[in-house]
């Protein structure tokens, strides 16, 4: 069953209200907020490669406050253990039973700060929960609930004491983007309210977490024409065939694009996906999934250049793919 025009209009109106509400706490970053909500409704995760002090924690808090959800922050350090992320089973002498103490991943929004400072073993603790929204500890599986989203921050690889995220980990992030510094006008507004250490405290919840899950289910019914699906497939194939890449966009990356494009279209009051949606989302959904050939990278090739060329070379379908 495809989303109706009335449902698309309601989705877009609600989406706008959510973005505007978070925008009260994270000033001047409407596009980033839209991308983050797109990831949430598509049940994906976001990776920020950013400088410190750009508002990543504020964004996580504002999102949680807006959707009446829980949030937690994990500071990734070299000595962080996997059990510090997922939780641990402890023997209770009073009851003479083992009890599972849930870790910080059992929240609706989890901020994984400086994720690439932790060891690969600790990073891998997020693989299952990011892919399947569940955690397995000592043979027992625990559901993370809905919505569940990881907002991770990454230091530039050149910094000392960092571990490069493996391809399997990067591929689990639906979107990679950057918040960046606010513009001049937004900075002045922030400075004027310097006494407000946490603007998200003043935000009121607009919807419940159950409503977010319902919106995600509704967005999944957005129509995607076969011509658009073929376009996505051709783009992925071209990234794999490019001489500058060792690995192109995976099947998981193609599926991620379809889910993100459905939400993006619905947020613009459409119940169908256009090729322009794919072009607009490609830089944030696909760039981080390309693994460059070392020689090509040394010669100056970048994932952005390869993706831009592929988007220019592959012809988009001309017909409006309406439901």
What tens digit of pLDDT does each residue of 70-112 get?
A: 889 899 988 999 999 999 888 888 888 888 899 999 999 998 9
β-strands 149-154, 46-49 pairing: parallel
**Is the predicted pLDDT of residue 320 greater than 80, yes or no?**
no
Q: Tens of pLDDT along 201-235?
A: 778 889 999 999 999 999 999 999 999 999 999 99
In angstroms, how far is the first alpha carbon of the chain from the final one? 10
- What gap in Å lies between CA 112 and CA 45, rounded to an integer? 11
- As a whole number, the mean pLDDT across the chain is 88
User: What's the pLDDT score for residue 186?
Assistant: 80
Q: How confident is the model at residue 55 (pLDDT cuts 50, 70, 90)?
A: confident
Give tens-digit pLDDT for 239-250: 999 999 998 999
Say whether pLDDT at 138 is over 90: no
Q: What is the pTM of this model?
A: 0.89
């Amino acid at each position: 069953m495809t989303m109706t025009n009335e449902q698309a209009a309601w989705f877009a109106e609600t989406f706008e209200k959510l973005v505007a509400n978070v925008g009260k706490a994270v000033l001047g970053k409407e596009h980033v907020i839209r991308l983050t909500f797109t990831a949430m409704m598509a049940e994906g995760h976001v990776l920020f490669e950013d400088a410190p002090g750009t508002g990543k924690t504020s964004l996580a808090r504002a999102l949680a406050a807006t959707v009446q959800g829980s949030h937690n922050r994990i500071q990734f350090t070299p000595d962080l253990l996997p059990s510090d992320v997922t939780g641990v089973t402890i023997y209770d002498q009073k009851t003479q039973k083992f009890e599972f103490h849930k870790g910080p991943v059992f929240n609706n929004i989890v901020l994984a700060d400086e994720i690439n400072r932790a060891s690969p073993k600790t990073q891998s603790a997020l693989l299952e929960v990011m892919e399947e929204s569940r955690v397995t500890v000592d043979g027992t599986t625990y559901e993370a609930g809905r919505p569940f989203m990881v907002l991770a921050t990454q230091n530039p690889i050149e910094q000392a004491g960092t571990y490069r995220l493996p391809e399997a980990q990067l591929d689990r992030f639906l979107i990679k983007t950057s918040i960046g510094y606010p513009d001049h006008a937004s900075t002045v507004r922030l400075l004027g309210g310097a006494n407000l250490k946490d603007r998200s405290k003043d935000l009121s919840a607009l919807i419940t977490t159950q409503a977010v899950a319902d919106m995600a289910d509704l967005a999944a019914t957005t129509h995607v024409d076969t011509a658009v699906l073929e376009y996505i497939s051709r783009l992925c194939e071209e990234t794999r065939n490019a001489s500058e890449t060792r690995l192109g966009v995976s099947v998981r990356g193609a599926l991620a694009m379809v889910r993100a494009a459905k939400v993006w279209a619905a947020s613009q009051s459409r119940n169908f996906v256009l090729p322009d949606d794919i072009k607009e989302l490609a830089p944030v959904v696909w760039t981080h999934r390309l693994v460059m050939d070392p020689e090509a990278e040394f010669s100056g090739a970048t994932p952005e250049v390869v993706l831009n060329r592929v988007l220019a070379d592959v012809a988009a379908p001309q017909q409006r793919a309406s439901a």
